[in-house]
Each structure stands twice: as C-alpha cells, then as structure tokens.
Amino acid sequence: MKYQEAVEYIEDLSKYGIKPGLDTIKELCRRVGNPQDDLQFVHIAGSNGKGSTLAFVSTILKCAGYKVGRYISPTIFEYRERIQVGERPISRKRLCELTEQLKAVCEEMVADGFHHPTPFEFETAMAFLYFKEMVVDIVVLETGMGGRGDATNLITTTKVAVLASISMDHMQYLGDTLEKIAWEKAGIIKEGCLVVSQRQEAAAAGMIQRECEEKRAELTFVEPEKLKKVRSSLSGQKFNYGKYKDLQILLLGTYQIENAMLAVEVAEALGRCGFVIAEDALYKGLKETKWLGRFSVISKKPYFIVDGAHNEDGAKKLAESIAFYFTNKRIIYIMGILRDKEYEKIIELTAKYADQIITVKTPSNSRAMDSYELASEVAKVHPSVTAAASLEEAVELAYLLAGKDDVILSFGSLSYLGAMIKLVENR
C-alpha cells in the first residue's frame, strides 16, 4: 500500500458514519494488544482551545526532556500531522504499514459481526500502536468532538485530564444545553486522576465539580485573577501568572493567554504526578510553542491572518482579537464555514468588523456550506459580500481589494486553512 492509498482508505471509512461510544474502539484495540494500556496520558477535551493547549503542554514536556507523543485533529497541512512523536509526524512508510495491519483487523471484526471502525477510531488505534512502539514517556491526547463517548476515552491511565473552554458545539451529538455538553466533556475524568480546567460558565463548572467528586479526582481551575501585566503586539505576548513573571508566547489572540495559563496549571499538575518540569523548561516551552491556524500572521503588507474560529465561542474570541489588534483598520474577510456549525452566530459576531466579506466553500468536505449560500446568509447583516468560486479566486480578490495597510482575515473552519496558507506562501 502506498501513502496516498493509505490516506484515501482511511478517509473512505467516513462512509461508516460517526458512532459515539466505545464498543468498536475497545474491540479494535483488544485485537491489537491494547497498546494504550502501556502508555500514560494528558487527555484534553473542550470546545475551543484544545489544540493550542495540547501544543503548549507537549512543547513544555519536550523542553523538560521527555519523549512526547501527540495526537491531534484536524490537521493543517498533511494527514501525518495527526500522529507525532517529538513534534515529528509519523513516517509515510510506518503509516502505510500500520494501515495495512489495522485494515486486516477491521475486516476480521466485520466478519465476526462487529461494526467497522470509523476513521477516527482507526486513527486512534494507529496512534496508540505507534506511540507504544516508539516508547514515549507520555502522550498528550486530544479528544475528537466529545469526551465520554469519544474513541480516545477507552484509555485508563490518564495522569491529568484537561478541560479547555466548553461552549455550545456539536449539539446534535452532545446535547442541547451547556450542562449536557459539559457532562460529555467531563467524561474523560478518570478515578483518582488530576483534573485541570479553564474557568467555565456556572453550568459547566458545576458539572465538572460533580464528576470530580464522583471520581475522587483533584480539581484545579485556572485563576484569571492571577493574570497581571499583559503586553500584546503582533510579534507576541508577555504576561505574569501567579508566581511566574514575564511568561512569553508567540501565539497571538487574546484567548491564547488563557490557553497558556491552562498549560501552566497542567505543568504544575504533572509535577505532582512525578513528571519533573523545571521552571526554565516551562518558560522555554511556552515561548517555543508553534500552532498554525489560530490568529496566525502568515504574510504582511497587507497582513494576512488565518484563524480556525468555527463556532460561537471561537467567533467571540476572534472578535475580541480583531477589536484588540486592529482598531480602525480596514479588514477584508475570507469566510468558509461547515454547514453543521452555528454559521448565523459566527456571522453575527464577526461581520461588523469587516469592510468586505468574501465567502468560499471549504474544499473536499461534504459538510461544507456552499459559498453562494453562505454569501446569502452574510448579506442579511452585511452590505458588501462576494461569493468566490474557489480559494484561489478568493485570495486574488482579497489582494485586489486590500491596500498594504489593510488586513485580510481568513477563518471559519480549520479544514481549509492549510490550503489557504499554501496559496498565500506560493503567491
């Protein structure tokens, strides 16, 4: 099996749909020796900030001298980015070999009357196998959309469970209230593990506290009142958090300081679990963290920024960053949104900051909203909107509209930002 064949095979498994629940992944992992049982985990759930928090935590651990596996989705540039050790993606050769191995196991499962694993279940089992054979010290693991019924949640050796910002998202699967969604996310909490959470809305916070009490898990909330002396520019951000002075991150966006504070609390929790993280490793890890696609500047004159804001909470945070960094700037949007997202809320929260809005259809995604349909929704609240036939057309139009002192901002779904970044870089 060649690399492209392997990727296409895994992507084609989407025909088996999304099936929350652990029965299939448990059977798949049982048949390959339960590799997850030989690993230790930082497990991260939430609606927004999971990926950035994972990047901060895994880079801190790497700077502290640990061999770190990380498992993420979606990816920006290439499929292999989902499974990394030491921030290096799995090799094409090993991905192909593991795909062939797991494909045979899946066929046996179906012959025995089990459901065929979904792409996410397949990828999760592959990640566990790879991390075990690479003998990593710890895995920083990101859930898919949920928690309790998420394929990653078959693990039993969680050291620290992490709850990033929880908001209304994936309601068709997770529930129609914040409390129900928080119940799903808090399902990653294991008996006796340490738990670190962002400061949450009352309904979510209460649910997390109840889950911790039930599981006898020690809970720490981020304390925003300990944040002092924030200094932000388009070249990075500095801040004090509790005893730590002049912490520095290169990631932009007001919300990234919140994610960095969460990572600091996770690092302290890991210290209580026996993972020694010196203070200089914490500082170095925060400063060296890279995470493309979250208010990332990819070009200047004009500024071209990409951001993965894809739901109401993400749109609120994006709007805060726009207001903070670009007051009185002329801004052109490129907007692409998936149909099952809260597109009306995203438009409502962000449209007022744009001078012009260009809509696109996210390529190669069956859930993508058509650019013309999206444009008609935008037109209800904004007078200047154009539907582009392709990403290439959207980029060219944006550069025609923008002067060197203006800002182009592409957002709405992480799934197309890699292609957008490549188009701008090639230009």
CA 17, 18, 21, 24 torsion: positive or negative?
positive
pLDDT score of 231: 95
pLDDT of residue 247: 98
Torsion sign across C-alpha atoms 282, 287, 292, 294? positive
pLDDT digits (tens, 9 = 90+) for 190-204: 999 999 999 999 999
Backbone φ, ψ for residue 100 (5° rounding)? -60, -40
Cβ(201)–Cβ(207) below 8 Å: no
Contact yes or no for 192/215 (Cβ under 8 A)? yes
SS3 helix, strand, coil % of the chain, rounded to 5? Answer: 45, 20, 35
Query: Is the pLDDT confidence value at 20 over 80?
Result: no
State the Cα–Cα distance between residues 326 and 350, nearest whole angstrom: 13
Percent residues over pLDDT 90 in the chain: 75
Instruction: Tell me the angle at which helices 254-272 and 50-63 cross, rounded to the nearest 10 degrees.
Output: 50
In eight-state DSSP terms, residue 363 is T
Confidence of residue 173 (pLDDT cuts 50, 70, 90): low
At residue 180 the predicted structure's pLDDT band, cuts being 50, 70 and 90, is confident
Highest mean pLDDT among 73-77, 124-128, 175-179, 310-314: 124-128
Which class in CATH covers the domain with range 296-426? alpha beta
Average pLDDT over residues 279-300: 93
Q: Distance between CA atoms of 34 and 11, rounded to whole angstroms? A: 24
Same fold yes or no, 3-288 and 296-426: no
pLDDT surpassing 80 at residue 423: yes
pLDDT of res. 176: 60
User: CA–CA separation, 161 vs 159, rounded Å?
Assistant: 7
CATH superfamily of 3-288: Mur-like, catalytic domain (3.40.1190.10)
| pLDDT band for position 414 (cuts 50, 70, 90) | confident
Would you say residue 172 has pLDDT above 60? no
- The residues spanned by each domain of the chain are 3-288, 296-426
Is 45 a residue whose pLDDT tops 70? yes
Ramachandran sector of residue 78 (left: φ over 0; alpha: ψ -120 to 50; beta: rest):
beta
Of the listed ranges 121-135, 145-159, 168-182, the least confidently predicted one is 168-182
Q: State the average pLDDT over residues 280-287.
A: 98
Of the candidates 65, 64, 75, the one whose C-alpha atom is nearest the C-alpha of residue 291 is 75
User: Does the pLDDT at position 205 exceed 90?
Assistant: yes
Specify the range with the lowest mean pLDDT, choosing from 56-70, 269-283, 304-318: 304-318
d(CA 350, CA 395): 19
More confident residue, 254 or 230: 230
